[in-house]
Structure 1
Amino acid sequence: MTEAAPAQTVPLGVSRPELRVTDLPTPEEVFSVSRIGPKELFMFAIGPSLIALGISIGSGEWLLGPQAVGQYGFVGVGWVIVVSALLQTFYNVECARYVMATGEVPVVGWGRVPPGRLLWIPLSVFVVIFAFIAGGWAASAGQGLFALVNGRVATAAEAQATRWYAIGLLVVVFLITAAARKISRALELSNWVMVGAILGVLLVVDLIVVPWSVWWEGIRGFITPAAPPAGISATQLGALAGFTALASGLNWYVMGHYRDKGYGMGYRAGFLSGMRGERRELLASGVTFPDDEANAGRWRRWYRLLMVDMWGVFFIGAMLGMLLPTILMSHAVALSGQKPTTANVPTFVAGALRPEYGTGMFYLMLVMGVLILFSTQLGIFEAMVRVVTDATHATSPRIRALIEDDPRRFYYPFMLVLLVVIAVILHLAVPVALVQWSANMSNLGALIYPFLLLYLNSRLPKAARPRWWHKVILVLNFLFFGFFFVNFIADTFGDPLVTF
């Protein structure tokens, strides 16, 4: 009896095991269909973009964008939204490129960049937790749910009650993941429902109540380069840039869902199964494909699916998700004669439309607000748990042995611990102030991760490597979002670099 030949491996970077080499699967193999047509595309291939979009249409699109437009108008604000969305979508594609080519999620891949995993993996986990643990996304959802249940906006004396609603929604997130057979699939299905309802209802409401002049003003603001309006702060503008579309330099923390969806080599690496699902193997290190014509052809097919998912769903959805709430906010400001503040922006539209359009519109807008903010809460809370789980499982043989190589045994207890920590932090500041903090901290990632991507993606199999202009756009991410972060730090601890 002859021994089996050892599996072929290739090095990538430093301080992590070499990547095992095997063929790319076909999309038909992954999704168990005979061909990928339009029906199969929507039923099986589209998904990670919806999870990202569910997070996107929340803190930026329902809170920060409408607040900025409500206070300062469209011109000088809209172009920041468009540039941010374009840069972030390109950045998302580059993050997903690495996941598809190696089956490794970004937080694990960063450990391959010199000086290695002892720096980049713990730092990346810290940055994600530090950016999002403030819980502004949860607190805002609690405000909306309080208003929906009680039929009115909470007063300052009732802030504690809104926090309990926020904590209750965190528990709902835990229950959704606990009931799942496959966690990513449960998030996809939830966001199909929520994002579809949000965009559909907002489009109908805007067509009915928003004057065409306001529609045109919003569209014109998106395509008109102009100086930022006088009075807007560096923190507000940086927060708007950071949380338009997703989370600027930290978008990678959601792109790991392409692994769990089975895109490219993610199919070979495994996924996080839910509490009710069967135990599935999740590789601690990635897998890549050989440089040959057959695999290059399969790669091009996967890349086209990624383009549809990112540009056809995420980018278009993010732009609609920003346009529809902001023009509605502009109309609400005109009707009420007031402007939104950081304290009341989660429920401002509902309250402003009520006198003109009745109680039914008030409750409809509150339902939309809760759906929008809960979709963000669902995605962010789960992603923080996922990032820590993936990082721990990939880098610690001792913990893998302790949990018997079943990531669920780490994932769910850590989610409960994080729930308690966020519940405490919710008491520290008003929701939108917390969201602005998170958004500007997201811009910090743009100073770091574009360069890590440049290192990793330039070492992928030739068919998967980015073109030169992809690299230029990563540098533009660094310059655009990095500027806003530096300005935010200067503004926080002294004088901003620029004033408007």
Structure 2
Amino acid sequence: MTEVQPARTYPLGVSRPPLELGDLPTPEEAFGVRRIGPRELCAYVVGPSLIALGISIGSGEWLLGPQAVGQFGFTGVGWVILVSAVLQTFYNVECARYVVATGEVPVLGWGRVPPGAAFWVPFSAFVVIFAFIAGGWAASAGQGVFALVNGRVAAPDEVQATRWYAIALLVLVFVITAAARKISRALELSNWVMVGTILIVLLVVDLVVVPWSVWWEGISGLVTPAAPPAGITATQLGALAGFTALASGLNWYVMGHYRDKGYGMGHRTGYITGLRGGRRDVRAVGVTFPDDERNTTLWRRWYRLLMVDMWGVFFVGAMLGMLLPTVLMSHAVALSGRQPTAATVPTFVADTLRPQYGTGMFYLLLLMGVLILFSTQLGIFEAMVRVVTDAAPASKRLRGLIENDPRRFYYPFMITLLVVIAFVLHLAVPVALIQFSANMSNFGALIYPFLLMYLNSRLPRAARPRPWHYVILVLNFLFFGFFFVNFVADFVGDPLVTF
């Protein structure tokens, strides 16, 4: 009788079981193609960055950035946008590095860091829910839909109608995920359409409407170091830093899509299916690769694809997504002589340009606003559900209750969260809620860069970061951490630094 050899394992951290060892798949095997060329790159490889970009272009690029520029101009604001986007893209790569190398999503990875899963997994799920449950992203989308349907901005006594539209869009997110075979793929395809349409239409509108002097002011503002403008609050500036690009220290909550996409060891660990996709188990413990020449070569290929997805798609898209709405807002402010407020910023540009450029421009920009804010709503709402669902396997008891089928947790939790958000979004105006969420994102930068250093330094040698990557993670801690501390000081009394 042949003796059965035990599976080889790779211990990583504490508390969680060791990772199994297996070979990395080739990109061709993972994506089911013969070769990875430009067509395959667009059709099969690019994807997680689009989901992140769909979230990014909403709250930060359509609301917080234009509001800050509309009130204070580009000087002293633009460099915060650029530095935030660069640091966040580096941070995203480091979060995704762990996912690609192990097939484990970050919320489970944190459980390998002392003191262990009993603390970090529930704490991390709670932080994400607490940061985003305010629902400002949903309420803003509801404002846009109201204006699109009624041909005008909602009056103060019609706020409740905008909330009903926001709730209807939450239900639409549920329908999209339920109708999908593979939820991540449905989100990718939705964002291909929405993000592509948004960037193309805004580029054309800006080229037709915005004077070149405003373009130059916007571009130069991104690279001109200057003190923040007088009068901008710690809350405004911190929110702009936090929600430029994505969600600063909490960006990891979206990087789990690299597992579902099948990047690297994500191909070995599974993905969450929709109700039409049939049952598919998702491994509770990840898999990593042995340190040998073949796997080292394959890792380099996967890492290059990750860099294309993050720097070539996410970073470029995030910068365009911030530049195009802000120069348009700057032009609208100059035309109207008015400044956007937290209450009016979701529909300010469309309402301002209507008298000069006609009803067609009004409805076009309202439609773009709805697409932008719905892409954010789709990504954030689904990601909140996903993070808690991904955290569930850390509990053996919960894993048994759902019989290893994530959908048994995913959809009931989504319905519960929908009801809670429907209540919470009644508490404040949308942009005020978003400013709170953005500053809570900066809180994550005080913690998770150091957890990443712990995890990534223990990966197989080929996948470990270079020394300067750790320096970038510390810069994330310093930059976004400063804005969070200043926000807290402003919230409880006086900010540490005033502008």
Q: State the TM-score, normalizing by the size of structure 1.
A: 0.99
Aligned partners of 2:128, 2:285: CA distance in 1, in Å?
21
Tell me the residue number matched to 1:446: 445
The alpha-carbon deviation at position 4 of structure 1 amounts to 2.4
Aligned partners of 2:217, 2:85: CA distance in 1, in Å?
19
How many residues align structurally?
Answer: 499
**What amino acid does structure 2 have at the position aligned with 1:418?**
L
Runs (4 or more) in structure 1 with deviation over 3 Å come to none
Aligned partners of 1:45, 1:464: CA distance in 2, in Å?
20
**What amino acid does structure 1 have at the position aligned with 2:300?**
R
**What amino acid does structure 1 have at the position aligned with 2:228?**
P
**1:219-298 alignment to 2 at 5 Å?**
219-298=219-298
- Residues 1:326 and 2:343 aligned together: no
Aligned partners of 1:173, 1:201: CA distance in 2, in Å?
24
**1:78-93 alignment to 2 at 5 Å?**
78-93=78-93
SS at the partner of 1:221? helix
Aligned partners of 2:395, 2:113: CA distance in 1, in Å?
18
**What amino acid does structure 2 have at the position aligned with 1:446?**
A
8 Å contact 2:59–2:373 — kept in the other structure? yes
SS at the partner of 1:290? coil
Summarize deviations over 1:397-424 as a string: whole Å, max 9, x none.
2222222211001000100000000000
Summarize deviations over 1:344-368 as a string: whole Å, max 9, x none.
1000000000000000000000000
- Residues 1:478 and 2:477 aligned together: yes
**What amino acid does structure 2 have at the position aligned with 1:51?**
I
Summarize deviations over 1:137-165 as a string: whole Å, max 9, x none.
00000000000000000011000000000
Tell me the residue number matched to 1:126: 126
Aligned partners of 1:412, 1:118: CA distance in 2, in Å?
24
Tell me the residue number matched to 1:300: 300
Identical residues among aligned pairs (%) = 82
SS at the partner of 2:445? helix
User: Could you say what the CA RMSD is over the residues aligned between the two structures, in angstroms?
Assistant: 0.5
Q: Which moved more, 1:133-142 or 1:3-12?
A: 3-12
Q: Unpaired runs of 5+ in structure 2?
A: none
Q: State the TM-score, normalizing by the size of structure 2.
A: 1.00
Aligned partners of 1:287, 1:205: CA distance in 2, in Å?
48
Q: Which moved more, 1:173-182 or 1:276-285?
A: 276-285
The alpha-carbon deviation at position 453 of structure 1 amounts to 0.1
Aligned partners of 2:269, 2:466: CA distance in 1, in Å?
26
**What amino acid does structure 1 have at the position aligned with 2:107?**
V
Tell me the residue number matched to 1:409: 408
**What amino acid does structure 2 have at the position aligned with 1:429?**
A
**What amino acid does structure 2 have at the position aligned with 1:240?**
L
The alpha-carbon deviation at position 210 of structure 1 amounts to 0.2
8 Å contact 2:281–2:406 — kept in the other structure? no
**What amino acid does structure 2 have at the position aligned with 1:477?**
N
Q: Unpaired runs of 5+ in structure 1?
A: none
SS at the partner of 1:419? helix
SS at the partner of 1:20? strand
Summarize deviations over 1:15-63 as a string: whole Å, max 9, x none.
0000000000000001111110111100100000000000000000000
**1:324-403 alignment to 2 at 5 Å?**
324-392=324-392, 394-403=393-402
**What amino acid does structure 1 have at the position aligned with 2:358?**
G
Aligned partners of 1:201, 1:235: CA distance in 2, in Å?
31
Tell me the residue number matched to 1:423: 422
**What amino acid does structure 2 have at the position aligned with 1:226?**
A
- Residues 1:205 and 2:205 aligned together: yes
The alpha-carbon deviation at position 317 of structure 1 amounts to 0.1
Tell me the residue number matched to 2:155: 155
**1:153-192 alignment to 2 at 5 Å?**
153-192=153-192
- Residues 1:459 and 2:458 aligned together: yes
Aligned partners of 1:349, 1:449: CA distance in 2, in Å?
37
The alpha-carbon deviation at position 278 of structure 1 amounts to 2.2
The alpha-carbon deviation at position 270 of structure 1 amounts to 0.6
**What amino acid does structure 1 have at the position aligned with 2:493?**
G
**What amino acid does structure 1 have at the position aligned with 2:214?**
V
SS at the partner of 1:447? coil
8 Å contact 2:76–2:228 — kept in the other structure? yes
